[in-house]
Chains A and B, each alone.
Chain A
């Protein structure tokens, strides 16, 4: 970046600017080559018929306009993975948020052992999704799986969770909520601790019950935190992939295949242009979801 040479610049300011760019250059160089460049290249590729055979000559491909996008939108499998991804978000975000908020509110009310509880609830977050997916696939087996064994104690004949076209996706959502709630719990707990104790006590003196205090004090004061939590959780569920890869391979009958999974498949088949277009539609969804959630939670004040 050019520093204005012609007019007089305060020497310390110029030194600062030079130092700042020296510090920024390694990051920005890597960032441009490995992030910004590919983001734009992906958009470009989505308008071409690039395939794996064009790997060494990525610029010698034909421009096909919106063909990849129209092909995707007309493809029943793509429509299915879009619906599935929508279900992951619509089921996963509320479930994860409610569980995390419940745990955070609970932990905020206790003082003894809080640290241990917090560590325990957070534990799955640090573990590999692939590894916990292997574990849950084992837990959810129809015969001899721990979940169905426990259900049998109370007389319930547990189904083959992951082999059912209706139950497989919700099962994956529950597992994902189990793994992800820790992040939100920590964020919510930090948010709860910024609510002054006096506010709650004042409401209590005024005769507000526990639910009313939660509804009219805690929730409104937590709104920015809830918004942030909803956005990052939604973005996470939009990219759902590893759980389905390991636990169901996208099945049964594509019932758990997600947009990311579809993109990965098309990449594996060598359809790079189509994969790029699918990934860009997902990117648009991420941006749209973020905007919608800011509108939903951001207003009302």
Chain B
């Protein structure tokens, strides 16, 4: 990790370097045109989603489609929040995501620190398990997990939804990578000062882990917010649906052709996440670069 420049740093470094003339450094115009066209393809589906969600049901399905809504309406959103129970789904999604995020940040940094800086028997086995688990598809565990949660009385409850996700290997891996880069001298100095081992973790290490915890927190929150298979299995009554479960079941159920409604639902699922992403994208990019290249 220590050899990896974070992307913004590298950008700055490149920008200050004396180039061979500004135009060459900036890159050729055609490249901007190609990348711009590609960018359009990435963004247009989202614009189309938002535009269509404020059209009345008849106009949404019109052939050929209207570009700008001829009639602006908030009917679809009103239906989501009054006729359907989107406030509940929204709340369920948030509660599950917050619990999963708190668990992963806390437990991930604890074990991440132990693996990065402490010597203990079983360390290699634990780290090997964590790495191996990164490879296990969620589909492998959901059948026995369902039997387990049923016997614990946790099906169709929010704890049943978040408990199995509180300790994911990704968080351990990311925190370990980050903490490995912190200087050992900090820990030695604290030991010399007589601080206990746990105290060192909570008062010396954790305050330095802010950026990595932020990255992990955001990625975990996004992952939980978008998670589908497990909530689909656990939620059995509508009042326990998360947003993706509700949207998916409506989209294949009796509302399958009510695109105005479904697209408004998609907006409700997507827009909070896009807002969080745009505000905090620096941390996300760092996290991916951090775990992608060691």
State the CA gap A37–B149 with chains docked (Å). Answer: 13
Cβ contacts under 8 Å, A171 to chain B:
none
- A122, B126: Cβ atoms closer than 8 Å: no
Interface status of A90 (Cβ within 8 A of chain B): no
The stretch that binds B, out of A24-32, A69-77, A158-166, is A24-32
Cβ contacts under 8 Å, B165 to chain A:
34
Q: How many CB-defined contacts (below 8 Å) exist between A and B?
A: 328
- B145, A128: Cβ atoms closer than 8 Å: no
- A139, B45: Cβ atoms closer than 8 Å: yes
State the CA gap A35–B222 with chains docked (Å). Answer: 21
Cβ contacts under 8 Å, A267 to chain B:
142-143, 146, 233
What are 7 A-B contacts defined by CB distance under 8 Å?
A2-B121, A109-B28, A130-B228, A131-B265, A133-B248, A224-B293, A279-B137
**Contact A127:B273 (CB < 8 A) given known A17-B119, A24-B126, A190-B7:** yes
Question: CB < 8 Å: which of A20, A27, A38, A132 contacts B167?
Answer: A27
- B140, A282: Cβ atoms closer than 8 Å: yes
Interface status of B182 (Cβ within 8 A of chain A): no
Interface status of B181 (Cβ within 8 A of chain A): no
The residue on A at minimum CB distance from B172 is: A27
State the CA gap A118–B49 with chains docked (Å). Answer: 21
- A129, B277: Cβ atoms closer than 8 Å: no
State the CA gap A132–B26 with chains docked (Å). Answer: 33
Interface status of B203 (Cβ within 8 A of chain A): no
Cβ contacts under 8 Å, B144 to chain A:
37-38, 41-42, 45, 276
The residue on A at minimum CB distance from B138 is: A239
Q: How far is the CB of B243 from chain A (nearest CB, A)?
A: 7
Interface residues, chain B, CB within 8 Å of chain A?
A: 3-5, 7, 10-11, 14-15, 17, 25-28, 31-32, 34-35, 38-39, 41-46, 48-49, 52, 61-65, 103, 106-108, 110-111, 113-114, 118-123, 126, 129, 133, 135-148, 150-151, 163-167, 169, 172, 191, 196-198, 201, 222, 225-226, 228-229, 233, 243-244, 247-248, 251-252, 259, 262-263, 265-266, 269-270, 273-274, 276-278, 281, 284-285, 288-289, 292-293
- CB-based closest 10 A-B pairs: A19-B197, A110-B27, A20-B120, A41-B144, A144-B63, A30-B167, A187-B292, A190-B289, A38-B141, A20-B114
Question: CB < 8 Å: which of A34, A39, A133, A189 contacts B163?
Answer: A34
State the CA gap A106–B62 with chains docked (Å). Answer: 38
**Contact A272:B133 (CB < 8 A) given known A15-B197, A132-B45, A242-B248:** no
Cβ contacts under 8 Å, B139 to chain A:
239, 241, 259-260, 263-264, 279, 282
The residue on B at minimum CB distance from A139 is: B45
Cβ contacts under 8 Å, A109 to chain B:
27-28, 31
Interface status of A78 (Cβ within 8 A of chain B): no
- A121, B42: Cβ atoms closer than 8 Å: yes
Interface status of A194 (Cβ within 8 A of chain B): yes
**Contact A123:B145 (CB < 8 A) given known A112-B26, A128-B273:** no
- A110, B226: Cβ atoms closer than 8 Å: no
Interface status of A217 (Cβ within 8 A of chain B): no
